[in-house]
Each structure stands twice: as structure tokens, then as C-alpha cells.
Amino acid sequence: MYVIAGLGNPKREYENTRHNVGFDVIDAIASKYGIRVIERKHKALVGRGYIDGMKVVLAKPQTFMNLSGESIREIIDYYKVDPQSELVVVCDDISLELGQLRIRKKGSAGGHNGLKNIIAQLGTDGFARIKMGVGNKPEGYDLADYVLGHFTGAERKIMDESIGYAVDAAVTMLEKGPDEAMNRFNGKRAGGEGK
């Protein structure tokens, strides 16, 4: 069994914000594979189903971003999955161009509070993640205001296309492993391959 967890903030006011692209990816996977992510348990909205014959749990932690690890810890314990081989976390990244993907098998939080809390709760940074670029904050912007800000129409179009790539990357990670996903999707973004 695999767990794919997308990070974000609950409540309607945070929908379509940069910080919630993890939720957007989970919604896209759920839609594509007919999985309903509506059950409230483990401080998350969860849905169970199959992706190409593989059992998966899709999760959207409802703890707010900075406490994402509390929910993911409960999910990992309940389903008895190994975070180092059966967990994929999807989150935003301000150091990447808008819509650009970066896949990692492990690594530091890189200043992302959601990842920081997951690492603290799991006691390891050895879990796979898909980072979705939301662009660097403009000069003079407050970081919190920027990541909690909404996409423009043009930005949303780019993100929607890149979310499709993120869905494909997540499925590739499950089917063929993170190395294959990294080879195929690192740097990929809507409108080009990135830098």
C-alpha cells in the first residue's frame, strides 16, 4: 500500500492559493482514478482506492500546513506503511519556477514548514516528495502573504497543466520507482522543460 499526501491548508479561503497546490494534486489524482477523498480520519481527508492495481491512500491533512506531520504520522501508523518506500508527499516550493516539478527521494525541509513538521514527526527525511514550483516571492512581499495568495488566471492555467505532470510523476513513482520519476519529470513544467 502507498500513501500519497498533498499538503495545504483547510478552509475555503485557502483554495487556489500557492500553498495549496498539494491539495490540488491530490484532487487531480482522485478525479483521474475515481477515488473519493471525503472520509475524515487521522486529522485528514482521506480516500482509499487503486491506481493501476496498486492500493493507495490519498490524504489531505486538515491540521494546517505547519502541523502536517501530525496527520501523516497517524496515517503512516494506522496503515503500517514504510515512509521511506511507501510515502509520497506533494507540496509547493517557492524556489522553483511557476509550475516546475522537482522530485526527491529524501532531503531537508528546505525552509518549508510542512515538510519540517513531517520530518520531525516521522524522525526521518527519507521520504519521497514532489515539489511544485509556485515562483519566488516578488521583492518586498511578505512570504506568508505570498504563499497564501491566489494564482492569477494565467498562473492557474500553467499550474493546471503542471498538476497533470505531477499526477503522472506520482503514478510513475508507484509503478517504477522514484529514480524513473526523477529522470522523466525533474524540471518539467507547463510550456517547456524549465531551466
Rounded distance between C-alpha atoms, residue 185 and residue 193, angstroms: 9
Rounded distance between C-alpha atoms, residue 136 and residue 94, angstroms: 5
Using alpha carbons only, give the angle 115, 65, 191 rounded to the nearest 5 degrees: 75
Which residue in 179, 165, 20, 194 sits closest to 96, CA to CA? Answer: 194
Which residue in 97, 179, 186 sits closest to 133, CA to CA? Answer: 97
Rounded distance between C-alpha atoms, residue 181 and residue 170, angstroms: 8
Does the annotation flag 113 for ligand binding? yes
Does the annotation flag 64 for ligand binding? yes
Which among 19, 42, 112, 150 is annotated as catalytic?
A: 19
Is 19 one of the catalytic residues?
yes
For residue 177, CA distances in Å to 109, 172, 181 come to 21, 7, 7
Binding-site residues: 14, 64, 66, 113
Binding-site annotation, residues for tRNA:
14, 64, 66, 113
Residues with active-site annotation: 19
